A and B are shown apart, each in its own frame.
Chain A
Amino acid sequence: MISFLVVNPFIDSLLKILSIVGLMTVSAMGLIYLERKIAARFHMRLGPTRTGPAGLLQSVADALKLVGKEDIRPASADAWSFELAPYFVFIPAFMMFVTIPFTLMLNVEMLTLGLLYIIAISSVSIVGWVMAGWGSDNRYALIGALRAAAQGISYELPLVLSVLCIAMIAQSLNLNEIIAQQTIVPNILLQPFAFFLFFTSALAEMNRAPFDIPVGESEVVGGPFVEYSGIRWSMFFLAEYTALLIMSILIVALFLGGWSWPFGEKLGTSWQILLTIMKTSLVIFLIFWVRVSVPRMRIDQLMNFCWKVLIPLALIQIFLNGLILVFHLPTFLLAVSSIMLMGVLVLIINKSMQNLNKNHIVKNNLESA
């Protein structure tokens, strides 16, 4: 664990807070730059090139611009909720950093129930979103906030259930223990379905494409943030990218074996950091990739997918995991059950898409007749 000056707990905690803040801002700016660059390459564009070498200073320039901007509050806005909303989004993201395991020894504070803590804290930001939407006194903002609330609460369930699958296997909610158990077999091989669940609902939790309906520019012009400007808006942005980073590290920790797989605990700390960063980058790249590939879902499709497909299948997975673990059946059955559920999911999606097409064709025929 990071302990700069253990002698004085106040200075120690102050330094920890400062390092989290520094890490947050720097990583958020880096991620914004990377997202712009990578999305640009996916669009066969160049992305930022003008500010600094290869546009590296673009995020710094943006940050300076945002800080220098006027902080406008609409006259009809609800002052308290409008002003406080950014903190309600920002602080949970900040608090999630506490128990994130970068390496075996390097994290701020290893909690025994770290996973539960992260899941609990991450859902607090929904309050901030709703406050922002309500406080702005703007229809787009309110619609966006309600969408965010509906989506956030719905997808919280598959997220928790997929985490539960992993916790059942690991018999622990301590992230370091979960990682340490993956030295030989990462959890993604045992529970590919849980990985899919977690990835999907993490995308929905972060309001990223294809689940970005709360902030969809073409529908609600930016959702709850329409009325925000300057430093407050940048706080939302910072929280968003911090959440992206944390969720990616969490995916790495839960499913890809974090610092442990495939070299075990004997690896030096710096190599462990490198391993974590590499895996996290891969996950983040995957998230960007999904963003540029998949179109935005409709809100009813989103809700149907969550409540009718993901949650029942997740419950079945937990039930099967329970059976296998309680009766001490061979471990590979976990993987078999998970792959079977994955197949069921693919079948369901294909079936629903066929129905969509069929309805579409029937409707077109009716219209043409």
Chain B
Amino acid sequence: MQSIPLPTSRRRALAGSAVGFGWLAARNLLAGTVDHGLPVRARRVIFMFMKGGPSHVDTFDPKPKLTADDGKPFPAAKPRVQFAATGNLLASPWRFRRHGACGSPVSDLFPHVARHVDRICFLHGVHGTNAAHGGAVLKLHTGSDTFVRPGMGAWVSYGLGTLNADLPAFVTICPTLAHGGANNWGSAFLPARHQGVPLGVASRPATEARMKFIANPRWSADVQRAQLDFIRGLGDQAAADPVLESRLESFELAFRMQRAMPTVEDLSGETRETLALYGLDDPVTANFGRQCLLARRFAEAGVRFIQVTHSDGKVQWDQHADLLAGHGEKAAEVDKPIAGLLEDLARRGLLDDTLVVWSGEFGRTPVAQGTNGRDHNPEGFTIWMAGGGVRGGFRYGATDDYGYYAVDGRMSIHDVHATILHLLGVDHLRLTYRHGGRDFRLTDVAGEVHGAVIA
């Protein structure tokens, strides 16, 4: 998408001397800060966050031994730090079947996603650091469960810039306000323009997901144009200053963004068939389906990092009790929309360079909490990726026989981040920002790219 040329003014020449100001001219927004000479496999990311912690042993990581030993004690030590008291092994109530040419197993919770396993790379050896939601959500999004750090979308914006100057580089659709809230999409010490733009909030339906202040309740675009000209005229009366010059340009950009955002958010041009593909015709799937369809439209329009969040005002994927009903309900809400997004991206040729990531903040224990629930389990769980240069139809890493600990192909959250950045052509070791006398990274002082997952 082409941006509209900016009006020039007599003060433009001064802009070059404004060293020290983060935002100089709109054209600079297009540019990122890095070129690491790595192959660029993915140009953008769609991150699907399943808040609460979906159970890996009930979805994508089947454990026959768990079924066989149902009700018996877990034969090894449980972790030193656990969230809640747990009992004996609890078999999954769902049946797993092999799918696709690759034969990757998927439980009956995800019949639609199962049709895309040949596009999906499962990471079964992921492990986190925190057994509570807040710490784990922050860790997944920012790499730290101890300090306030920029979100990964902010790092991507900082590293790669935007593909469309009229839109934000990073949007997060219906984000959760709990467990870190805005910290999860914040820019922390990175320049403010890299923070995610939230559209709506998890407690409200996706039909209300809009960027704040994007529409004027009172003035037409013509009136606003006249207002902007007035502001510019007033500015021209005063002595020249580069700061003020860049401010005028930000008004022009805002004016254009005000036109561009509603265009992306308007689904009226989508065919009935497409709406149905995402499940917008079914009240069960309509809310998350809308988020996924918006994600595709933002991807098409040039947004770098798009997050969709499956959460709501209730308990999300957090079945400490009543796993069967809870996971059943949650999976039914997202299965078809996720599959629809993968299919739609593929049909449009976007999947090749769009990295789709599916993750919760942790998995769940193979042992029971109460009689029919599972506790949080950061020791081993599954994240999956599709498109964007990952090796489809592949299962990488493993948990133990029961699914408690990651034992093979172990990937820390830092490793996941390093690998995502690598797919984007960014070297996580060289994506740094100097703050408080130190160079910071998304991956802190850790992180390894797991080459095995790359196609």
* A, B: real partners: no
